[in-house]
């Protein structure tokens, strides 16, 4: 099957002011490759500062990449077959802060109708579409349509943001910590809503969250990022049950387990990630990895396939590698 979105060698560096008036380069996203399959939910995890949100903004082309390319449904994004404006209609995003993404001076009905209006849909049809979407996300348009954002709860506002994201009939929706600010009970309702919408509207999701329990619950596949790179990707179950990269093992091991018998013996994740300015050489995790060997600092590990669609970038799982743990790790 043709993936919906292919990400090929995507790079985004930012220039920031460092000490002594020098400009320094933040390597926020540093050459990432992955695919988003039609109809799936791809979870994206990693500590804060690993490049998750920059990746989200690149996928939506809110910011332009420095190198690499995006291929959406077999067409190069920004190329002749798929101009940026058309791509932007097909990919929409829901952010964490439900309040700041809505215009406080517009009624929610106007907010939802705004996208279609900008894209040339007539006023009457835009409003009709907005009302039907509000209904779809569980907000009675008669009761809520004329209200302003401050008159709604956080959960209701996030429903409005979801309606707004769907108003242009996108195919891919990027959810960047979209339920993170909600109470647990409201979060569960919004997750159920997202699941219903995905099925009924044939959507594909990229679901970014720091909450690993939620990611495990919603994702078909999961991608793990560390310091601007993808270090492991695979089916959600394989990733949780057979994590291969020591960073993934430590990250998942840090999850407060609901079942005490299920706790892993994983070495805990110590310290903070190094700065994405001058990231460590070779494997970027070597400064925190309990299994690091000289090889790890010298050479960047390639991806090795562990089982169907499950890949990790660590010398311990690269067949024939010189890492002393390599043979052991591959027997597990
Ligand atoms: Fe650790 Fe080396 Fe594997 Fe990196 S390549 S995760 S430093 S063992
Ligand atoms: Mg973020």
Q: How do residues 42-75 score in pLDDT, each as one tens digit?
A: 999 998 889 999 999 999 999 999 999 999 999 9
Cα atoms in the Cβ-side hemisphere of radius 13 Å centred on 63: 16
Q: Please report which ligand is nearest the Cα atom of 325.
A: 1
Q: Please give the CATH topology (third level) of the domain spanning 38-61+83-242.
A: Rossmann fold (3.40.50)
Pocket of ligand 1 (CB under 6 A): 245-246, 283, 285-286, 289, 291-292, 296, 301, 314-316
Going along 150-199, which residue ranges are E strands? 172-176
**3-class SS at 185?**
helix
pLDDT by residue for the chain (332 residues), tens only, comes to 679 999 999 999 999 887 777 888 999 999 999 999 999 999 999 988 899 999 999 999 999 999 999 999 999 999 999 999 999 999 999 988 878 889 999 999 999 999 999 989 999 999 999 999 999 999 999 999 999 999 999 999 999 999 999 999 999 999 999 898 889 999 999 999 999 999 999 999 999 998 999 999 999 999 999 999 999 999 999 999 999 999 999 998 877 665 555 555 566 787 888 888 889 999 999 999 999 999 999 999 999 999 889 999 999 999 999 998 887 766 55
CA of 235 to the centre of ligand 1 (A): 21
Cα first-last separation, the chain = 31
* 44, 207 Cβ separation under 8 angstroms: yes
- Opening angle at CA 208, ends 205 and 213, nearest 5: 105
- The DSSP call for residue 177 is S
Q: What residues does each domain of the chain span?
A: 38-61+83-242, 246-332
Q: How far apart are CA 70 and CA 76, in angstroms?
A: 6
* CB neighbour list of residue 30: distance below 8 Å, 6 or more residues apart: 11, 13, 51, 227, 228, 229, 276, 279
pTM: 0.93
């Amino acid at each position: 099957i043709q993936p919906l979105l292919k990400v090929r060698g995507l790079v985004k560096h930012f220039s920031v002011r460092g000490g002594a008036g020098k400009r320094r380069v933040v390597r926020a996203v540093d050459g990432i490759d992955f695919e988003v399959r039609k109809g799936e939910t791809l979870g994206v995890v990693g500590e804060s500062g690993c490049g998750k949100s920059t990746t989200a903004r690149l996928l939506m082309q809110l910011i332009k990449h420095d190198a690499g390319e995006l291929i959406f449904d077999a067409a190069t994004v920004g190329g002749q077959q798929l101009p940026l404006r058309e791509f932007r209609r097909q990919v929409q995003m829901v952010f964490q802060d439900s309040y700041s993404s809505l215009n406080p001076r517009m009624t929610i009905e106007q907010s939802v109708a705004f996208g279609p209006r900008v894209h040339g849909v007539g006023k009457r049809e835009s409003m009709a579409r907005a009302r039907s979407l509000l209904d779809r996300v569980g907000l009675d348009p008669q009761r809520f349509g004329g209200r302003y954002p401050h008159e709604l709860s956080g959960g209701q506002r996030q429903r409005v943001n979801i309606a707004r994201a769907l108003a242009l009939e996108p195919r891919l929706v990027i959810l960047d910590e979209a339920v993170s600010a909600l109470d647990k009970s409201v979060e569960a309702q919004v997750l159920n809503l997202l699941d219903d919408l995905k099925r009924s509207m044939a959507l594909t999701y990229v679901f970014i969250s720091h909450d690993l329990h939620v990611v495990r619950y919603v994702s078909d596949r999961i991608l793990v990022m560390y310091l601007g790179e993808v270090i492991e990707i695979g089916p959600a179950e394989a990733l949780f049950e057979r994590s291969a990269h020591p960073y993934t093992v430590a990250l998942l091991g840090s999850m407060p387990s609901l079942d005490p018998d299920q706790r892993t013996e994983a070495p805990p994740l110590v310290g903070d990630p190094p700065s994405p300015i001058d990231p460590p050489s070779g494997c970027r995790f070597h400064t925190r990895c309990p299994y690091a060997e000289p090889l790890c600092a010298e050479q960047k590990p390639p991806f090795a396939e562990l089982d169907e669609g499950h890949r990790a970038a660590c010398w311990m799982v690269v067949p024939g590698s010189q890492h002393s743990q390599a043979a052991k790790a591959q027997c597990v």
